[in-house]
Structure 1
Amino acid sequence: MNETANDNFQYISQLMGVLASESRSNRQETDKIELLLKRVAKQSSISYEKLGEEVTSETLDNYEKLSIPTKMDTLINENYDLLYQIEQQRFVNNKISILIQSIMEHFVSIKNFIKEQKFMREQDLDNFIYENFESQAVILNSHIDILREKKDISGKNLSRIIAQLESMFKNIDWSLISKDKHEFKLLLSQIQNLDESFNIKLLSKEDITVAKTYCK
């Protein structure tokens, strides 16, 4: 949740920067208009204060008629709204892409851990875990490749990747894990860190209870 709040703050900060820039630009234009009015007053021998007096209702009515947006003005405003929505979507897509990449880095870290411990475990168990992780890595990598080729990063695709991770851990038989206290605790810590980082549940409470019995 803190990461989401930080992202929102960054986005609002960017908008504030744009608004500040527009405000400065409008102020500069106002100063230019004021300078021009003073020049007109001087050349017309009319005081600047008199030029600033209230205008008649007829003049105001004419001004309001001129202020009614034309079809072109409406189209331009709609285009600006569309550009704003596009930039907002780009911002969201970029954050989703970073999140997916982070998940993959955690996954690769776990996979590399298993490879490094391959010769410290029983051969059958090692092959079992290695093959399960490796096959899931291929599936997840294929999802990432599809997302990058189609440039269609979305919450639905992200949920699918997380579901693949959850399914993978549900199929692990913890009773086959070698009772190597240090190495197994390291693996369990990696999984729990992944759970906490992305607010997902790769292991059920029952799995965690069973797994921890092999750390004693």
Structure 2
Amino acid sequence: MKKKSLLLAGIAALLLTACEKDPDMGQLDVNLVVYTDYDTSVDFGKYTTYYMPDSILETGNVHVSYWTDANAKALVDEVENQMDRLGYTRITDSALKATADVGVQLSYMAQANTVITGGYWSGWWDPFYWGGYWGGWYYPYPVVYSYDTQALIIEMADLTARGEGGDDGQHSIPVVWYASASGFQFDNHRVNMQLLTEGVDQAFSQSTYLGTDK
């Protein structure tokens, strides 16, 4: 009886395997790939305030522009919701942005590319964007990511940690948290917005070290 039971169990397993549907390969590229990294030496609980522009920087091969429509606002609002949920307070007055603990920047790219960066670089924003005589961003850790046709980038820079000034008196700003949501861009704006919004949520979800209570 024991051998018969084992035989029947084996036959049943083979039947189940034979009847199992193949995975839908078209679903493998539906969601955006979310990558996050951070400076492990930073205590994110020490921050309380942040400044974030109302627009999203669109980067291209020739020039940059600003994404300012309702869809851009929806993505900025989603980042604000996540930051507020973690206990951070947004400073909305641009005249006070230099008083914020961190600056949050959103950038959007739509092209095929692979990016490998680390150390000092000029960054997307004007060197004087955050006020004073600060230089561009710099990553205390290597950042490597690739994207097919679209990518939403979120960068958190420590405005309280100014590097040593160079010959021009500028100071560099360390990026303490980085997130990218990249993948296929559909011809449907609603679908793209859903993917980007889910990418924002996933970026914060997998960054459990963020929060004023950490």
Please give the range of the TM-score, normalised by the shorter of the 2 chains.
under 0.3
TM-score, normalising length from structure 2?
A: 0.24
Q: Which of the pair is proportionally richer in strand?
A: 2
- Higher Cα radius of gyration: 1
